[in-house]
Structure 1
Amino acid sequence: EKTSKPSCVGIREKSSIKVNVWAAISCKGPTRFCLFTSNLNQYGYKYILEYYLLPYLGTKFSREELAASYFIQDNDPKHSSNLCTQFLRDNGVNWLRTPPNSADFNPIEMLWSDLKTFVRKRQCRSLEELTKTIREFETNLSVEKCRKLSNHLKKVLTIVANNKGDWSNE
């Protein structure tokens, strides 16, 4: 079963420059990164789903693959809003909820950790530098890395099930 793991992370440098990043990954690679500086509400999130997630799913997954796949995201209010859940249903996207910031169940959290480390090493001093650095990370993000993160979920779920729902420590 294939999974697509979305999330949004705020990248903040010491100089108070901040960019939010949304992306999804699957065993077939990453979506385009959506960068924005404003706060995100359900309408903005629906826009991201429509213009970033759906085009990705349409080019990477057949209808049959999509029907057997799960779009994993946490239970953030904008993710679980009626507007967004209905939009996902209307477009044949199966949604699986996870706890917030849970790398055990949402491996994109590990990607966000890598991105934050990459950005911190660059010590960006302007919004332009920060954006360029994030885009560089995006460009270098390989299908193999996304596949590794996606496959990690299968391993973790097996361990969590064997531990009767307890931590995987993976």
Structure 2
Amino acid sequence: MGRVKVSLEKKTEIKALVEAGFTQRDIAEKLGVSKTCVFGVAKKLKRNLPLSNLPGQGRKKASTAIDDRNLLRLCKKDRTKSSQLLSSELVLSNGKRLSAQTIRRRLVDMGYKSYTAKRKPYRKPSQRKQRLSFARQHQYWMKEWNNIIWSDEAHFEVQGGGGSVSVWGCMSGGVRGPLVMYSGNVNGPAYIKIIEEALPMFIENTFDPTNKEWAFMQDNAPPHKSAYSMKWFKDNNINIFKWPATSPDLNPIENIWDHIDKELQKMKPTNVTQLQEMIQDIWLGVTPMYCQKLVNSMPNRIKQCIKSRGGTFNKY
């Protein structure tokens, strides 16, 4: 992983905490920097060296201006090429090659952004048929979608390693629901433990007791469909909305996971604690208007599903 430049202001903060007796681990977690960075500042303090880098310090660029122009030419020729493929094709003037990570950095410096192509789930003909049947059955639904509680799980990681967080969340038309963080493998009992307090409370606070039209949407993951889970839903009078397999593109809450992921890439958490706090903050920033906008996209998602005959679609 490339070295991240740390500002003189940040180094001054590290210095103050080192002199105050904090451990290097505590300082790293508190300020969101690596332990290597803290060690470097502490080493300079011990040797009475200035915190700022001396002129000429730092690793020299592996590529020349000509190499960078050649990289730009290759990128413009085919913008779908991955950094790994560009790495294998670009030979530097010194006969060496750049790593895929360095190539991504160079392209960012040139004003380019990297994107990861979304993987399209494989669907059996029977699953496509099921999706098409579901879409046709609900093609005239409009306001009815507001009675569905949309739920899903997601997994987020600290970039470059350092831990991960799993979450379950739900929403409805114009209402952001609860977000529950959890860890470990999930089976039927573990799944119910995650939702057993949050879901009933959300239902009680969202729907009028006279409303008998609402239903709870979940995908067909084994823990969701286990005998243990289904008994709990029945005992708690929670209506399950029948959902077609392999259909994340039909679930509007998926857009919220994408939104959280993009925001985390900007915020760059360095440990699990920061990751948890940032996920919670982003989730709380999801507005009722945005939730309603996502639910309002359902008629078009259904239309696109019918148009693709139960296949994959991207725009809704």
Partners of 1:134 and 1:75 lie apart in 2 by 25
Q: 2 CA distance for matches of 1:90 and 1:152?
A: 32
Which protein is bigger by CA-based radius of gyration? Answer: 2
Structure 2: unaligned runs, 5 residues or longer: 1-143
Which residue is 1:120 aligned to? 265
* Distance of 2:265 and 2:258 partners within structure 1: 11
1:63 alignment counterpart: 209
Runs of 5+ in structure 1 lacking a partner? none
Corresponding position: 1:3 with 2:145: no
Match of 2:230 in 1: 85
Query: How big is the shift at 1:168?
Result: 4.4
| SS of alignment partner, residue 88 of structure 1 | helix
Match of 1:23 in 2: 169
Task: Note if contact 2:174-2:290 (Cα within 8 Å) is conserved in structure 1.
Answer: no
Q: Distance in 2 between matches of 1:64 and 1:92?
A: 14
Q: CA deviation at 1:21?
A: 0.8
CA distance in 2, matches of 1:162, 1:134: 35
For residues 98-155 of structure 1, the C-alpha deviation after alignment (integer angstroms, 9 at most, x for no partner) is: 334612x211111111111111211111111101101111211111111111121232
Name the SS of the counterpart of 1:31 in structure 2: strand
Aligned partners of 1:64 and 1:97: how far apart in 2? 24
Query: Is residue 107–residue 153 contact of structure 1 (8 Å, CA) maintained in 2?
Result: yes
Of the three residues 286, 290, 299, the one matched with 1:141 is 286
- CA–CA distance in 2 between the matches of 1:22 and 1:78? 13
Aligned-partner Cα distance in 1 for 2:183–2:308 = 40
> With CA pairs under 8 Å and 6+ residues apart, which has the higher RCO, 1 or 2?
1
RMSD across aligned positions (CA)? 1.9
User: Structure 2: which amino acid aligns with 1:136?
Assistant: D
* Higher percent of residues as strand: 1
Give the count of matched residue pairs. 168
Instruction: Output the amino acid matched with 1:77.
Output: P
**Distance of 2:150 and 2:233 partners within structure 1:** 14
Amino acid at match of 2:155: G
TM-score under structure 2 normalisation? 0.50
Query: What TM-score, normalized by structure 1, do the two folds share?
Result: 0.88
- Residue type at the aligned position of 1:8: E
Contact 1:74 1:99 in 2 (8 A): yes
Distance 2:275 2:237 in 1: 35
Cα distance, 1:98–1:49 mapped onto 2, change above 3 Å: farther
Find the counterpart in structure 1 of residue 192 from structure 2: 46
User: Structure 1 residues 101, 21: closer, same or farther in 2, change over 3 A?
Assistant: farther
List per-residue Cα deviations over 1:76-99 (Å, max 9, x = no partner).
000111111222223222212233
SS at match of 1:20: strand
Question: Per the alignment, in what secondary structure is the counterpart of residue 25 of structure 1?
Answer: strand
